[in-house]
Amino acid sequence: MAERTQKQKPAPSRTEETVEDAPAVAGSGDKLKAELDDLLDEIDDVLETNAEDFVKSYVQKGGQ
């Protein structure tokens, strides 16, 4: 997973510049990053209160 995180920024220096210098024209990648941060902020309210029990109880019969 660490590998993956690094790969997400193929040109880190340029990306940083873009973010600092021209936030108004931030690309969709930056917008998504901000949205992800917002989502992670609220996720504890959304996530099942007892995730372990929820996952354990999530048993389905096989289908097609």
Partner 1 sequence: MRGVAIPKVCGIETEYGILVRGQVPDSTSNPVSASSLLINAYLASVQRRAKFDLVDEHPGTDARGFQVDDLLAPEIETQLVNAVLTNGARYYVDHAHPEISTPECLTAMDALHFDRAGERIVEASMAAANRMLPEGAEILCHKNNSDGKGNSYGCHENYLLAREVPFARIVQQITPHFVTRQVVVGAGKVGCELPGSSAGDVPFQLSQRADFFEEEVGLETTLKRPIVNTRDEPHCDAAKYRRLHVIVGDANMSETATFLKLGATALVLAMIEDDALGDDLALANPVAAIRQVSHDPTLQRTILLRSGRRATAMEIQWSLLERARRYAETHGLGAVGEDSGLRTLSLWEGVLTGLEADPSTVANQVDWVAKQRIVEGYAERHGLRPGDARLKALDLQYHDMRPDRCLARRAGLDVLTDPEAVERATTNPPTTTRAYFRGRCLAKWPDDIVAANWDSLVFDVGRDPLRRVPMMEPLRGTAESVASLIDESDTPSDLLARLGA
Residue 63 contacts partner 1 per CB under 8 A: yes
Of 49, 12, 46, 53, nearest in space to 29 by CA: 12
Distance in Å, CB of 30 to partner 1, minimum: 10
Backbone Cα Rg of the chain: 18
Distance CA 29, CA 35 (A): 10
Check if the beta carbon of residue 49 is closer than 8 Å to that of residue 55. Answer: no
Distance in Å, CB of 16 to partner 1, minimum: 15
Residue 13 contacts partner 1 per CB under 8 A: no
Instruction: Note the residues at the interface with partner 1 (CB under 8 A).
Output: 1, 3-5, 7-10, 27-29, 31-33, 35-37, 39-40, 42-43, 46-48, 51-52, 54-64
